[in-house]
């Protein structure tokens, strides 16, 4: 059974790059355009995704707020969340970790490392 990944990024180009990379590796991919949309998509799913990948800098609801929202819901607390962002600041990494992020990957991403990270946190 293939794993399902929810990707959240306000960049259409990044969403398509993620989709192409992950589908080629056999993952099912569900996409959202920002944190608010991500919460709506997550709540509408019949089955939880195996991993969530979220950007940080997005309109309406940023990645930090999204992570806090997901972690505040007992139903979603165990879903691994990987942050995929252009940010590399240590304070932001710490803030994401405190919010409940499982891992941090800096864009542009290496497809092999991204898939390895997904497999590691979903195991």
Instruction: Write the pLDDT tens digit of every residue in 45-76.
Output: 999 999 999 999 999 999 999 999 999 999 99
Q: From residue 96, give the alpha-carbon distance in Å to each of 4, 15, 44.
A: 22, 21, 24
Token digits for 108?
């542009």
Residue 27: inside a domain: yes
**Average pLDDT score, the chain:** 95
% of the chain exceeding 70 in pLDDT:
99
Residue 123: inside a domain: no
Residue 1 has pLDDT above 80, yes or no: no
Residue 86 sits in which domain range? 4-110
Residue whose tokens read 């007992």: 74
Q: How many independent structural domains does the chain possess?
A: 1
CATH number, domain of 46, equals 3.40.50.2300
Overall pTM > 0.85: yes
| Reported confidence tier of residue 79, pLDDT bands at 50, 70, 90 | very high
Note the helical H segments in the chain: 12-24, 35-44, 63-71, 90-99, 111-122
Calpha distance 56→101 (Å, rounded): 11
Helices then strands (H, E): number in the chain?
A: 5, 5
Instruction: Write the pLDDT tens digit of every residue in 88-100.
Output: 888 999 999 999 9
Residue 115: inside a domain: no
Token digits for 14?
């990044």
């Amino acid at each position: 059974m293939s794993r399902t990944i929810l990707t959240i990024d306000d960049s259409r180009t990044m969403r398509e790059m993620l989709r192409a990379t992950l589908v080629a590796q056999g993952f099912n991919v569900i996409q959202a355009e920002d944190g608010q949309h991500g919460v709506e998509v997550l709540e509408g799913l019949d089955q939880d995704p195996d991993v969530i990948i979220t950007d940080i800098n997005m309109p309406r609801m940023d990645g930090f707020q999204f992570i806090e929202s997901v972690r505040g819901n007992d139903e979603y607390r165990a879903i691994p969340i990987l942050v995929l962002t252009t940010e590399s600041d240590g304070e932001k990494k710490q803030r994401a970790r405190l919010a409940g992020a499982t891992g941090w990957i800096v864009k542009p991403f290496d497809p092999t490392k991204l898939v390895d990270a997904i497999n590691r946190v979903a195991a």
